[in-house]
Amino acid sequence: MEIKPYIPAEIEPKWQKIWEDTHAFEASTDYSRPKFYGLIEFPYPSGHGLHVGHPRSNTAMDIIARKRRMEGYNVLFPIGWDAFGLPTENFAIKNKVHPAIVTKQNIDHFRTQLKRTGVSFDYTREVDTTDPNYYRWTQWIFLQLYKHGLAYKSEMPINWCTSCKCGLANEEVVGGVCERCGSQVIRKVKKQWMLKITQYAQKLLDGLDTVDFIEKVKIQQRNWIGRSVGAEVDFKLTAGDEKVRIFTTRPDTLFGATYMVLSPEHPLIEKLKDSIVNYDACIAYRNEAAKKSDFERAELAKEKTGVQLEGVKAVNPVNGKEIPIWLSDYVLMSYGTGAIMAVPAHDTRDWEFATKFGMPLIEVVAGGDIQKEAYTDIQDGVMVNSDFLNGMTVAQAKEAIIEKLTELGVGEKKVNFKLRDWVFSRQRYWGEPIPVVHCDKCGIVPVPEDQLPVTLPMVDNYEPTDSGESPLSVMTDWVNTTCPCCGGAAKRETDTMPQWAGSSWYFMRYCDPKATCGIGSKEALDYWMPVDWYNGGMEHTTLHLLYSRFWHLFLHDIGAISAPEPYQKRTSHGMILGENGEKMSKSRGNVINPDDIIDEIGADAFRVYEMFMGAFDQAIPWSTKSAKGCRRFLDRVWRLQENIVDTMDYSDKLNAIMHETIKKVTLDFEAMKFNTAIAAMMTLVNEMYAVGSVTKGELATLLKLLNPVAPHITEEMWELQGLGSGIHHEPWPVWDDAALVKTEVEIAVQVAGKIRGRIMIPADMTKETAEKELVNHPEVQKILAGKTVMKVIFVPGRLVNFIAR
């Protein structure tokens, strides 16, 4: 039969319009139906537009969402814009356009591009983090955190460019110098708003046991939180009344401590100023250390540096021994207490430091060779040189020493977390204003909730200030206000929130995006939350995923949301690399624009390729040639219409493979093995061509299976074949296990594990029968000629292995 040609440029816009006009993918507010909430990370609408990486996650969740609709669920699959942030602000400064205007343009561009890919987002629920109706509630959440003591101000080091005289993001610091001007960047201390995420460390850890995240995400989060059990121990000093508290995970090695190390920023240095003989050298060392990042400082491979505090020593509380105190930058103020006892015999970094500076080693756990390297094993060692601990295992010694320290009142058991509090201030314009005012009389006063949002003033100058304060600080009309408490003159907080703020609760807002009396109505939040399935990048595992879980756990605790955890299931996609195998970036010149690909092969083929190109969770280089192969596949699907047998039954020849394919595609989609699901459909189509014709029933099933991946072509063919009013609300196909049963199977014949031939046997042959009788099979006889069989191993449906001599 003559059929019209397949022209994606005609059918794709046609169906996109029909879906929009019929509200096909809008979530229903019929809360009696079973729900499915599928989520992708909302994009940052950058000026460069969509790149081919975005559609990977989008299409994957789109497949799941479309399949769920066909399975009868009320599906929420929303989209929004994470639109505050540094790149937009920098673009705006450079090009003299207001960030709000840039943002609007970028969002419009992104939306247009996204719509072309045919993703079934519910665009009526769009969320934009820069919309005052949205950030009003971001500010509200901040106030709740503040009221519950989880937001506080603290001195924190920031990156400070000595030439631009402004604070820099880590990303703007390249190799220790300012990305813009190349001048040296130092760490400068500034008062910053902090969120006490550490108070939720244990809850964030425990919650992981209740959710279905892929294992590597759970492991990364657990390691990031970094719970470790140890002890805090007080060391007296030989000068002054001060004590130094140290944290250690190895209190059992206390008798092996030969010196102490303080972080160069440790406040004790100031307090002991008068007792320290070489105070100037200590300050010089601290200034040197300020030039390095924590990351550089903690590096194991680097040469250890340090300076000894002269004039003061520390006293080991268990044996009264005096040990020297050093400053070294490998001890960070941000972890533990900023001070350690150094046990060079049993800690690698201490060992390196001690070897370099000639500090003594005392072996307290026997079993290694401490002259060669630190002995860090905690399983097999036995305590020595440790007074009352001698002869104990490491585990026993830990218990015993903690008991002793507690008894003496010089230490205690301590759970410590690597997780640090969240630096929440930015000295930037393009972010949510932090809703507090500073009053000379009343101090920090939160803006009353009914006065939210505190809107960003629309002004012309949002460039960084020389003082390092936020650009908002020079907008006196906005800054000067009255105190909500006493009515006197007060000043607004001029720091803004980080981009993380808006992205920490957007998934809640989708449930009820236009709510005006809260983050969303209780009814909507109760129905939709938690997110059933959240797919995103591995790069968001430790920060965004933890921050947003923290906010959600907190909102649950104050009764604002019922579900305890925000995400029931979390999966991850791999990054799409350029054709040269490198990360796509403008500077490398290897960026692929989806618009170009869609122009060339159509959105459906683009989607098929995005899903077919490789394992979903792996990084894959892009290949435009391979993408064209996917277009060929759709052409072949289209041309199946040339030879159709008008029956809804499956033909005998294709019945088995039809059911196999339904099963494979159904299960593979759920496991996000999209590449093998598509391969199975390709195999089915190849088989249909081998048969020479398809029945209308076979074609209908193929179209339904393919619809989530290639929605436009399948809608068009469904209509052309007169199969109904829209494939997207057809029921998902089911397979019949009975149709999969085979009477005969081919198995491999091995001799001593090596393949020697293949034979056909009845599919239901039992292990006993096979092991007894397969030796007599004529083919097997040939293979085994002249050998004596010692043992037979039979694996049903797979192989038989003869151990023979």
Q: Closer CB to RNA, residue 273 or residue 758? A: 758
Minimum CB distance to RNA, residue 57 (Å): 13
Nearest to residue 381, comparing CAs of 343, 423, 422?
A: 343
Distance between CA 165 and CA 427 in Å, rounded? 12
Minimum CB distance to RNA, residue 133 (Å): 19
Q: Closer CB to RNA, residue 120 or residue 503? A: 503
SS3 content of the chain, % helix, strand, coil (to 5): 40, 20, 40
* Length of the chain counted residue by residue: 805
Q: Closer CB to RNA, residue 141 or residue 419? A: 419
SS3 207: helix
Q: Which residue type sits at 749?
A: V
Q: Which residue type sits at 800?
A: V
Give the pair of three-digit tokens for residue 329: 């930058």
Minimum CB distance to RNA, residue 175 (Å): 13
Distance between CA 209 and CA 358 in Å, rounded? 47
Distance between CA 666 and CA 731 in Å, rounded? 13
Q: Closer CB to RNA, residue 789 or residue 799? A: 799
State CA 65 to chain mean position distance: 21
Q: Which helix (H) or strand (E) holds 509?
A: helix 506-509
Minimum CB distance to RNA, residue 70 (Å): 23
Minimum CB distance to RNA, residue 158 (Å): 4
Q: Closer CB to RNA, residue 17 or residue 583? A: 583
Minimum CB distance to RNA, residue 359 (Å): 21
Q: Closer CB to RNA, residue 119 or residue 605? A: 605
Minimum CB distance to RNA, residue 526 (Å): 28
Minimum CB distance to RNA, residue 85 (Å): 4
Minimum CB distance to RNA, residue 401 (Å): 24
Q: Closer CB to RNA, residue 158 or residue 654? A: 158
> For 256, how many CA atoms within 13 A lie in the half-sphere containing its CB?
30
Cα-Cα-Cα-Cα dihedral of 706, 712, 716, 718, to 10°? 30
Q: Closer CB to RNA, residue 20 or residue 377? A: 377
Minimum CB distance to RNA, residue 431 (Å): 8
| Cα–Cα distance list, 292 to 106, 159, 181, 284, 420 (Å) | 36, 10, 18, 14, 19
Angle at 569 between CA 563 and CA 575, to 5 degrees: 135
SS3 24: coil
Asked if residues 336 and 246 have their Cβ atoms less than 8 Å apart, the reply is yes
Minimum CB distance to RNA, residue 69 (Å): 26
Give the pair of three-digit tokens for residue 504: 């920490």
Q: Closer CB to RNA, residue 387 or residue 582? A: 582
Q: Closer CB to RNA, residue 197 or residue 723? A: 197
Nearest to residue 374, comparing CAs of 392, 359, 393, 391?
A: 359
Give the pair of three-digit tokens for residue 492: 């607004």
Query: 442-450 long-range CB contacts below 8 Å, 24 or more apart?
Result: 442/483, 442/485, 442/486, 442/490, 444/153, 445/483, 445/484, 445/485, 445/490, 446/143, 446/146, 446/147, 446/484, 447/139, 447/143, 447/484, 448/484, 449/140, 449/143
Minimum CB distance to RNA, residue 693 (Å): 14
For 141-166, the DSSP string reads HHHHHHHTT-EEEEEEEEEEETTTTE
Minimum CB distance to RNA, residue 583 (Å): 5
Q: Closer CB to RNA, residue 142 or residue 527? A: 142
Please list the residues that pair with 228 across neighbouring strands: 416
Asked if residues 583 and 576 have their Cβ atoms less than 8 Å apart, the reply is no
Asked if residues 381 and 390 have their Cβ atoms less than 8 Å apart, the reply is no
Q: Which residue type sits at 609?
A: Y
Helices (H), strands (E): how many in the chain? 26, 34
State CA 735 to chain mean position distance: 35
Minimum CB distance to RNA, residue 582 (Å): 8
Q: Kindly report whether the peptide bond that precedes residue 530 is cis, defined as omega within 30 degrees of 0.
A: yes
Distance between CA 420 and CA 406 in Å, rounded? 27
Q: Closer CB to RNA, residue 540 or residue 556? A: 540
Minimum CB distance to RNA, residue 588 (Å): 11
Distance between CA 674 and CA 605 in Å, rounded? 14
Asked if residues 708 and 62 have their Cβ atoms less than 8 Å apart, the reply is yes
Q: Closer CB to RNA, residue 139 or residue 308? A: 139
Angle at 72 between CA 67 and CA 78, to 5 degrees: 60
Minimum CB distance to RNA, residue 115 (Å): 21
Q: Closer CB to RNA, residue 399 or residue 668? A: 668
Minimum CB distance to RNA, residue 741 (Å): 16
Q: Closer CB to RNA, residue 293 or residue 666? A: 293
Q: Closer CB to RNA, residue 654 or residue 747? A: 747
Q: Which helix (H) or strand (E) holds 75?
A: strand 74-76
According to DSSP, residue 517 is labeled S
Q: Closer CB to RNA, residue 165 or residue 798? A: 798
Minimum CB distance to RNA, residue 495 (Å): 8
Q: Closer CB to RNA, residue 18 or residue 164? A: 164
Nearest to residue 287, comparing CAs of 262, 264, 270?
A: 264
